[in-house]
């Protein structure tokens, strides 16, 4: 159990795999009550069953973050079940690398919808409760791709730059509500993220790179826990980390 994590109600989007799943396990082990959203309900149920069988508190709500009513329903479930929301982790994301000239316009739409609008919907759903509570913590997941732009990464990088801009704007606006905001910007982490790339050359390049450098998702979960467990008067604005092997 961890002092400033124990008992907190934490909503996590994209909790069915990768960083979100690892964070759910890590925070539940530290005593948080976790509320898990994603589209693959079977994966969420398996995780919730595993956590609750082990005495942890967890619920799952099927959520597509591109649908603002579903994101609101996810947060409302946290309030209904646990009476409050302490932390909102806007983690759900898609990375579909391709050069602009491949014109994968549907994939641009999907990345903007999930990575940018999904984060905004998470803020819109969680913040009214945090305003009332006069406390709360919004954690948005950006990336090293929110700091630099890589070939075949223009749109993904644009979405992750947008997450940082939104988060920084939010940070400056929520002082009256005693709210904390944190951006977490990981480098390469071994998850299912590259599996959605349909551009063959980009897919192969990323897979090779990830095989060489990527670190386990627990690296991210520890960063989230570090931000949450600080004393309430300390706001970790951003954590940027890379695998030691990543340039
Ligand atoms: P995964 O592909 O393993 O996980 C992505 C998660 O997002 C899944 O749980 C998926 O759930 C969910 N998701 C995707 N689309 C939607 C949607 N429309 N509605 C709800 N949930 C959705 O990848 P990661 O764990 O790596 O990615 C998590 C976050 O971390 C992303 O924002 C990513 O950009 C970011 N990131 C990852 C890095 C890495 O190297 N892995 C590096 C830097 C940042 P489901 O399909 O069940 O809906």
Whether the pLDDT of residue 63 is over 90: the answer is: yes
For residue 58, tell me if it sits in a domain. yes
> In angstroms, what is the span from residue 58 Cα to ligand 1's centroid?
20
Q: How far from the centroid of its chain's Cα atoms is residue 37's Cα?
A: 11
Write out 31-98 in H/E/C secondary structure: CCEEEEEECCHHHHHHHHHHHHHCCCEEEEEECCCCCHHHHHHHHHHHHHHHCCCCEEEECCCCCCCC
CATH code (residue 202): 3.40.50.720
d(CA 218, CA 171) in angstroms, rounded, equals 26
Whether the pLDDT of residue 1 is over 70: the answer is: no
For residue 60, tell me if it sits in a domain. yes
Residues contacting ligand 1 via CB (< 6 Å): 13-20, 38-40, 63-66, 91-95, 114, 141, 143, 186, 188-189, 191-193
Between 2 and 22, the higher pLDDT residue: 22
Percentage of the chain beyond pLDDT 70 is: 99
Q: Residues in the chain, how many?
A: 247
The residue assigned the tokens 């988060």 is 167
Total of domains in the chain: 1
pTM: 0.98
For residue 1, tell me if it sits in a domain. no
Whether the pLDDT of residue 217 is over 70: the answer is: yes
Average pLDDT over residues 92-105: 98
Asked if 221 and 23 count as a contact pair (C-beta separation under 8 A), the reply is yes
For residue 247, tell me if it sits in a domain. no
Local confidence band at 3 (pLDDT 50, 70, 90 cut-offs): confident
User: Helices 118-133 and 154-173, interaxial angle, to 10°?
Assistant: 10
pLDDT in the model for residue 205? 97
Point out which residues pair with 12 in neighbouring strands.
36, 89
């Amino acid at each position: 159990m961890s002092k400033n994590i124990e008992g907190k109600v934490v909503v996590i989007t994209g909790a069915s795999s990768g960083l979100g799943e690892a964070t759910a396990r890590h925070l539940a082990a530290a005593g948080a009550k976790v509320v898990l959203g994603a589209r693959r309900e079977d994966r969420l149920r398996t995780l919730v069953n595993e956590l609750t069988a082990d005495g942890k508190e967890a619920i799952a709500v099927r959520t597509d973050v591109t649908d603002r009513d579903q994101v609101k329903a996810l947060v409302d479930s946290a309030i209904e079940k646990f009476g409050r929301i302490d932390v909102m982790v806007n983690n759900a994301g898609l990375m579909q690398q391709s050069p602009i000239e491949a014109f994968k316009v549907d994939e641009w739409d999907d990345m903007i919808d999930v990575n940018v609008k999904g984060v905004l919907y998470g803020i819109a759903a969680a913040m009214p409760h945090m305003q009332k509570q006069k406390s709360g913590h919004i954690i948005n997941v950006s990336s090293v791709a929110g700091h630099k732009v890589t070939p075949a990464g223009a749109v993904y990088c644009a979405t992750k730059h947008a997450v940082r801009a939104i988060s920084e704007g939010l940070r400056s606006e929520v002082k009256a509500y005693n709210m904390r905001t944190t951006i977490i910007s990981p480098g390469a982490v071994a998850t299912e993220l590259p599996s959605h790339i349909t551009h063959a050359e980009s897919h192969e390049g990323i897979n090779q790179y990830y095989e060489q450098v990527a670190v386990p998702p627990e690296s991210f979960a520890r960063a989230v826990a570090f931000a949450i467990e600080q004393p309430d008067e300390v706001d970790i604005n951003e954590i940027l980390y890379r695998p030691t092997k990543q340039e």
